[in-house]
Amino acid sequence: MHCGNYSRFASRRDVLARTAYGIGAAALHALLGGSQAAAAPRLFPNFAPRAKRVIFLFQAGGPSHLDLLDYKPEIKDRFNQDIPPSVFGTQRITGMVAQQDRFPIAPTMYGFGQRGKSGMWLSDLLPHTGKVADEICLLRAMHTEAINHDPAITFIQSGSQLPGRPSIGAWVDYGLGSENQNLPAFVVLNSLPSNGMADQGLLSRLWGAGFLPSRYQGVQFRSAGDPVLQLSDPPGITRERRRTLLDGLAQLNGQLHDRVGDPEIETRIAQYEMAFRMQASVPELADTSGEPDHIHELYGEDSRKPGTFASNCLLARRLAERNVRFIQLFHRGWDHHGGLTEKIPALARDTDQASAGLILDLKQRGMLDDTLVIWGGEFGRTPYAQGPLKPDNYGRDHHGRVFSMWMAGGGLKKGYTHGSSDDFGFNVAEGGVHIHDLQATILHLLGIDHQKLTYEFQGRRFRLTDVEGSVVKEVLA
């Protein structure tokens, strides 16, 4: 449905005059993709938001909570002992360890220490994160039913283990719309690990629109070539020539609109103008060469290399500055079934400084208060070893019964640890946060009641949180 008025117009200038200024979210949304499908009635936010935007630093593959975020001194001396059956319970084990005849405990070989005024226990693998411990809200009792990558990552991103549902960024875009006329509301940035061992793949459904109109799908920003696909004019078409051609196009479309009357044509004219603006705004955004050295130092030297996690963190801040609503990063390579101790230091190095740098950078710009930053993967890893167990090397299988994530920024307690796992880091001891609870909490911080953000599809009202989820009140500031 289109909401413009239908007076005739003769030139692009008229269209621009009507579309460029003073537009509320709903109307702007129509511009960003308005079509026959009705725009969502603007019911959100339901209450005052604590965060205006989200930066989700997703760690794909399943980082080991036991080596990074969840200190378990109780099993330090239980090297190679079996996990007690009472703890093991009815664990759904994956096909990869189903043939294993025992499940020996692999205590972490890394040191942990208390960081910040809050005394938060963090691994020595995360020195920079340690420095921002007092900004962090650590969730130590996350849990998920999924035990394999595809279902688990699909679950945390879309609220369902199976394909077909909209991703969280698409839901937020659908609910809140954009506050930037020149950029998409939902942007995705992917990075590969520096050790080159990416293992598991990503899926475009992780930023897909599912059954929502496809305009809500995330737009992938790329580190090589055009930052957005087909952003550059073809060779030989200068900006000036493109402008001339678009002026001609607007006139042709305008004449057609006058005769046919279909408001869709007006929307199309506006979309071409937005495309033209994006051609300027996206390269400007993606160009970090003007960032001063001290900023690059904050995020780490990798931030000068396009396509790294550090560079994406810096881009995330630039996107956040421009009020892009949902900024989704994926960093791959955390799937450490074997040789974990050879791999995890590299992954920690890839992400530690840049994640912490992002927090500090947002803070010094006064943006941390209304930006929600999330760090974590689709599940954790088993306290027992997969494959051969040595004191200084071991692998860990997928583990969903308890794992850790951290969040920071808009509306959250600082230097706070919520929930805990049992002595083995195997089960939730207290303060369990289910994936749906996390999603409900993210929406809550954005001012959205997760039970009210619904979309009717095939006769049923669907939610990101399906029929579950409760806001984790304990973490709210």
Within residues 194-253, the interface with other proteins by CB under 8 A covers 197-205, 208, 212-215, 217, 219, 224-226, 228-238, 240-242, 244-249, 251-253
Smallest separation (angstroms) from other proteins to the CB of 3 = 4
Which parts of 90-109 interact with other proteins (CB under 8 A)?
Answer: 92, 94-99
Cβ(83)–Cβ(426) under 8 Å? Answer: yes
Among 28, 120, 125, 278, binds other proteins (CB under 8 A): 278
Closest CB to other proteins among 111 and 224?
A: 224
Which parts of 106-125 interact with other proteins (CB under 8 A)?
Answer: none
| Cis preceding-peptide flag for 45 (omega within 30 of 0) | yes
Closest CB to other proteins among 118 and 470?
A: 470
For 405, the token pair is: 């994530």
- Give the integer Cα–Cα distance in Å for 163 and 323: 29
Which parts of 170-199 interact with other proteins (CB under 8 A)?
Answer: 184, 190-192, 197-199
Per-residue binding letters, 1-30, with other proteins (x by CB under 8 A): xxx--x-----------------x-xx---
Closest CB to other proteins among 184 and 415?
A: 184
Q: Which residues contact 26 (CB under 8 A, 6 or more apart)?
A: 3, 39, 41, 42, 177
Smallest separation (angstroms) from other proteins to the CB of 238 = 7
Smallest separation (angstroms) from other proteins to the CB of 55 = 18
Smallest separation (angstroms) from other proteins to the CB of 273 = 8
Closest CB to other proteins among 146 and 298?
A: 146
In 319-353, which positions are buried (b, 16+ CB within 10 angstroms) versus exposed (e)? bbebebbbbbbbbbbbbbbeebbebbbebbbbbbb
Which parts of 331-350 interact with other proteins (CB under 8 A)?
Answer: 332
Smallest separation (angstroms) from other proteins to the CB of 459 = 3
Q: First-to-last CA distance in the chain?
A: 40
Smallest separation (angstroms) from other proteins to the CB of 450 = 11
Which parts of 377-416 interact with other proteins (CB under 8 A)?
Answer: 397-398
- Looking at the DSSP bridge assignments, the partners of residue 395 are 386
Per DSSP, the residues of 94-158 read -TTTTT-S--BB----S-EEEETTTTEEEETT-HHHHHTGGGEEEEEEEE-S--SHHHHHHHHHH
Q: Which residues contact 187 (CB under 8 A, 6 or more apart)?
A: 218, 219, 220, 221, 319, 324, 326, 327, 328
DSSP state of 476: B
- Which helix H or strand E contains 386, and what residues bound it? strand 380-390
The closest alpha carbon to 321, from 273, 292, 358, belongs to 358
Among 12, 52, 140, 268, binds other proteins (CB under 8 A): 268
Smallest separation (angstroms) from other proteins to the CB of 267 = 5
Largest pairwise CA distance in the chain: 81
Using CB under 8 A as the binding rule, whether residue 285 contacts other proteins is answered as: no
Smallest separation (angstroms) from other proteins to the CB of 191 = 7
Task: Label the pairing between strands 326-331 and 53-59.
Answer: parallel
Helices (H) and strands (E) in the chain, counts: 13, 17
For 395, the token pair is: 């692998």
- Give the integer Cα–Cα distance in Å for 18 and 4: 9
Among 414, 454, 470, 474, binds other proteins (CB under 8 A): 454
Instruction: Select from 88-96, 172-180, 314-322, 366-374 the region that touches other proteins (CB under 8 A).
Output: 88-96
Which parts of 119-158 interact with other proteins (CB under 8 A)?
Answer: 147-150
Closest CB to other proteins among 213 and 383?
A: 213
DSSP state of 233: P
Closest CB to other proteins among 258 and 297?
A: 258
For 105, the token pair is: 């405990």
Among 16, 20, 87, 256, binds other proteins (CB under 8 A): 256
Per-residue binding letters, 31-70, with other proteins (x by CB under 8 A): -xxxxxxx--x-----------------------------
Closest CB to other proteins among 96 and 295?
A: 96
Smallest separation (angstroms) from other proteins to the CB of 356 = 23
